[in-house]
């Protein structure tokens, strides 16, 4: 049996969690480079919680500058079994108004300037991304959202764009024609790397604005986004704290195999593997190497 360790990646408003005890900032080194920041480790009702500010304290990293591999590697080294990503997003649907929390189920990755895999020349692996979020973890998130009386919707597709600029009107209409629900800049390759690291993953997309498609909200204004974020900070904190209180203390097997994603994924024969790369992979892939 494996004890549950809850990881949280999000903005600066999330790490002041209600009920978080014995919290301290800890430096964790990664062979993949420097993570966005130290991790803040504490306990809620006895459960170990590991928080990582995705953009660094003070929001110092743009989405394309985040070292996603180091971030996921560090969380894995801290023992994280279940990772909840809390992300600000734009809405691509009229019914998904600012202030709504969307529990995403699918992603479309339109980023192009980021390292998207721990694997490569010298150790090749292919993991399935058909079901990128863990439904059992999303069940816990949904129950927590209900308990906290939040406005939420379960299901939907997250379009990950490169940024840092917001969408053009033509792009926004294109993504709507694809059936996407929310748009953001940070959940890819984060979700892919969590899958490679065999960490169960769930996204809470906090809608801050309608994207540029909306006839009454044609421009995405950063001031309006910040206001919605500030208004929602307490809701996000309470949601994460509730998840920590309610999640099973013993990690349950993921029904879509998030925690066994590497079982048959590594293609390179042991004798042909690059020893330096294998050493870098010890934390994320040590179970199967």
Give the contacts of 101 (CB within 8 A, at least 6 positions apart): 145, 150, 151, 152, 153, 204, 205, 206, 207, 235, 239
Q: What is the pLDDT of residues 13-67, one digit of tens each?
A: 677 788 899 999 999 999 999 999 999 999 999 999 999 999 999 999 999 999 9
Residue 116 confidence (pLDDT) above 90: yes
Q: Is residue 242 part of a domain?
A: yes
Residue among 97, 124, 169, 53 nearest 281 (CA) = 124
Task: Tell me if 201 is assigned to some domain.
Answer: yes
Q: Can you give the pLDDT at residue 218? A: 53
Burial classification of residue 50, based on how many CB atoms lie within 10 Å of its CB (0-12 exposed, 13-18 middle, 19 or more buried): buried
Binding-site residue numbers for substrate are: 185, 209-211
Total count of residues recorded for the chain:
289
- Which pLDDT belongs to residue 230? 75
CA triple 150-48-33, angle to 5 deg: 100
Confidence of residue 211 (pLDDT cuts 50, 70, 90): confident
User: In which region does residue 46 sit, left (phi positive, over 0), alpha (psi from -120 to 50) or beta (all else)?
Assistant: left
Report whether 84 contacts 202 (CB < 8 A): yes
Distances in Å between the Cα of 276 and the Cα atoms of 106, 124, 220, 266, 267 are 34, 14, 45, 16, 17
In the predicted structure, residue 246 carries a pLDDT above the cut 60: yes
Residue-wise pLDDT tens digits, 135-183: 999 999 999 999 999 999 999 999 999 999 999 999 999 999 999 999 9
- Please give the residue range of the domain that contains residue 133: 6-285
For residue 92, tell me if it sits in a domain: yes
Terminus-to-terminus CA distance in the chain, angstroms? 21
**188 pLDDT higher than 80:** yes
Query: Burial level of 112, CB count in 10 A (0-12/13-18/19+)?
Result: exposed
181 is catalytic: no
Residue 10 lies in a domain: yes
Helices (H), 126-202: 135-147, 169-177, 190-196
In the set 181, 209, 216, 246, the catalytic residue is 209
Burial of 270 (0-12, 13-18, 19+ CB in 10 A): exposed
Residues flagged as binding site for phosphate:
12, 54-55, 87-88, 186
Q: Is residue 273 part of a domain?
A: yes
Residue 114 falls inside a structural domain:
yes
Tokens 């969590």 correspond to: 194
**Predicted confidence (pLDDT) per residue in 57-109, tens digit:** 999 999 999 999 999 999 999 999 999 999 999 999 999 999 999 999 999 99
Active-site entry in 16, 211, 259, 274: 211
Instruction: Produce one character per residue of 156-188: b if its CB has 16 or more CB atoms within 10 Å, e if not.
Output: bbbbbbebeebbeeebbeebbeeebbbbbbbbb
Instruction: Enumerate the known binding-site residues.
Output: 12, 54-55, 87-88, 185-186, 209-211
pLDDT at 216: 64
Residue at 1 is within a domain: no
Split into its structural domains, the chain has a count of 1
Burial of 76 (0-12, 13-18, 19+ CB in 10 A): buried
CATH number at residue 216: 3.40.50.1580
What's the half-sphere exposure (Cβ side, CA atoms, 13 Å) at 154? 15
Higher per-residue pLDDT: 11 or 210:
210
Give pLDDT tens digits for 191-209.
999 999 999 999 999 998 8
Q: Look up 246 and say whether it is catalytic.
A: no
113 in any annotated domain: yes
């Amino acid at each position: 049996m494996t004890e549950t360790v809850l990881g949280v990646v999000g903005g600066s408003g999330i790490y002041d969690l209600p009920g978080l005890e014995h919290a301290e900032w800890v430096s964790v080194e990664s062979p993949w480079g420097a993570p966005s920041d130290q991790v803040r480790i504490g306990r809620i009702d006895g459960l170990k919680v590991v928080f990582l500010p995705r953009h660094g304290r003070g929001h110092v990293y743009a989405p394309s500058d985040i070292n996603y591999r180091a971030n996921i590697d560090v969380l894995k080294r801290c023992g994280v079994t279940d990772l909840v990503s809390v992300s600000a997003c734009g809405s691509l649907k009229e019914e998904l108004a600012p202030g709504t929390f969307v529990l995403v189920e699918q992603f479309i990755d339109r980023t192009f300037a980021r390292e998207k895999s721990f694997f490569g020349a010298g150790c090749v692996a292919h993991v399935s991304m058909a079901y990128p979020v863990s439904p059992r973890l999303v069940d816990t998130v949904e129950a927590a959202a209900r308990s906290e009386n939040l406005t939420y919707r379960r299901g939907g597709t997250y379009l990950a764009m490169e940024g840092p600029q917001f969408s053009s009107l033509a792009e926004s209409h294109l993504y709507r024609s694809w059936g996407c629900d929310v748009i953001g800049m940070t959940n890819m390759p984060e979700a892919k790397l969590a899958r490679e690291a065999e960490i169960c993953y769930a996204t809470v997309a906090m809608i801050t604005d309608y994207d540029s498609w909306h006839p009454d909200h044609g421009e995405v204004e950063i001031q309006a986004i910040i206001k919605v974020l500030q208004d929602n900070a307490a809701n996000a904190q309470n949601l994460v704290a509730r998840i920590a209180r309610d999640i099973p203390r013993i990690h349950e097997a993921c029904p879509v195999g998030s925690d066994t994603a590497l079982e048959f994924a590594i293609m390179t024969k042991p004798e042909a593997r690059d020893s330096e790369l294998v050493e870098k992979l010890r934390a994320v892939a040590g179970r199967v190497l």
